Structure 1
């Protein structure tokens, strides 16, 4: 038995493994056949081979994997057929494309779904989750106006250069819009891959992909001044120097701002927090859905420093607050909450320019993506960003609380200066 045969036999997948595996990544079966699980939970079969026409490695989709989709046995059979073609000098992808074109010409196969068709269907089913009509309108405008060049193209045909061509003209002049456009295109492709409407990788993926192709752009304000864009954010590398100065500030607002930074929460979520939402014993803060932007309950793991702040704030809590209705970070007047300007005023008094309370969420995300080996889903969940569409939700049942607890403790340690 050859070494290659032994290696393939050892690494072969089982039907049980295919069905139960959930961790995003690649699972190898040998001979170039592999199972890919996306960050959204979608499973699909891929075959890597060397094209006999070009001598370059190619990746061929063999269909969705899992229960009710392409089985392990069928995937192996498809892979064997494709490898046989390659050995005989025929590129299996080119053969499949030619066959599909022949069937379409004979009226035996329908035209492949375009990006525009799929994105319109996706928006019809998924934009209901956004309660703000303006937000829904922005999604539609983004995926129709700015992504217009992609709309007539078949999902399978769109490649990374096509996405870059859409983003590059607005990348510097309308950077915030360009970033939102990229994120929304990426999400549509994630859904298409999860539903089996497209094989291969996501051409709009940002991390480790488009982030390597498009330049970093310093934010600007409406007058074009550098460094003060929408939700201006402090560079994450400056936070270990900023946090000690913030701790020197007295008052509830300073504690609320630090708590917001530690939890990567929105200002409104922190300012409206009540003691009924806090469980110090298990170090957890549960924000009810009605207070969240996405209208979904959000469980927030509390780091050791976040707990210290809450213990300090307990001195402001009335003794008769048995039902926990009192605000954790009360306003100056009894029974009132702080305004967002109150937190901004802390930064102003510290003479901090180019930063906003909301911008610290961006700093957290940049830190996590640049320095942590954190799963994409954990970062998104920590920010209470919606992870995906209905297909994604069918795969993902939990919220990764334990994994996020580790991530947030690392964040707190970084803010303490443990680089």
Structure 2
């Protein structure tokens, strides 16, 4: 270009090309086809050529473009790529101005988003409890982009050997929360809570046990039922209903009145483990329990509730612990299954259907059409008669606590 670099000359440049500035090596004014003009600093770093934009003309005047060029040249003399340095500076400013969100707050948001895929409230309560108890004391108030591997190992190591299953769940839940934060751009990867290829190299291996749920011998169930029947509590009613119908705790504890139609309860698909609706034939004592529970909370949409709130799995297990019963709530399904096998002529097919177990054989599952409701009704009424057969001697119990409203 002409040696003159006054503003009028620069404004009159119209041919689409790059115009070098005579007294500033590497500085160019680029005129585009649409006649817009931009300052460009052309340089070489580590054998590679770069074009660095310095802004548009005339917004950026020549004097300012020269200052930016000289600043970039000083960085080059120090071995710094000025384009990379500017990118890092902008990233730092972006990090500073971005809204800080703590792990505690972000975890709550993720739990809210995951709620629709869970069956009942138990999963949500468990997520909240484990994160609040184990993770939040260490990382709850930290921004999600500041959490590192040291934080995660500090959370897990104290409970990894003593409470291994809990520790694995905490690790998995932290990983899910931070994975979502990475996806939303709130932090950069890799995920510090990732197990495979990361934490597995830092935390000792622990052999996982395959212990089953503790179950009460089916011969002892009638005595327990007699004791539960003497208790004036909602917890006792729910536990009796679970035992009589061999259901999972959530299937009964969160049952809704709209699911009851005469002497059949149809558990909604979203509340079933297999994701399929399940019909349960209700015998006489089960119907009586439903009627008794309604009196405790007449206006509730739930079968079993107090002031519209259902019982938790912890409350049911707490009653068994109070009664010194060495069994879990889920274990009564095993008690029922053992009774069917050893005391009756009912087929395994009917028993498995009553337990709502998934058929693993795909061919068999494809051909099974009915739900064996009538055959299951006969079996469940026999089970109910057995459960209610004991006197009030309670000889299987190691202690006889006074009545308590649980």
After TM superposition, the score normalised by the length of structure 1 is 0.42
Bigger Rg over Cα? 2
TM-score by length of 2: 0.43
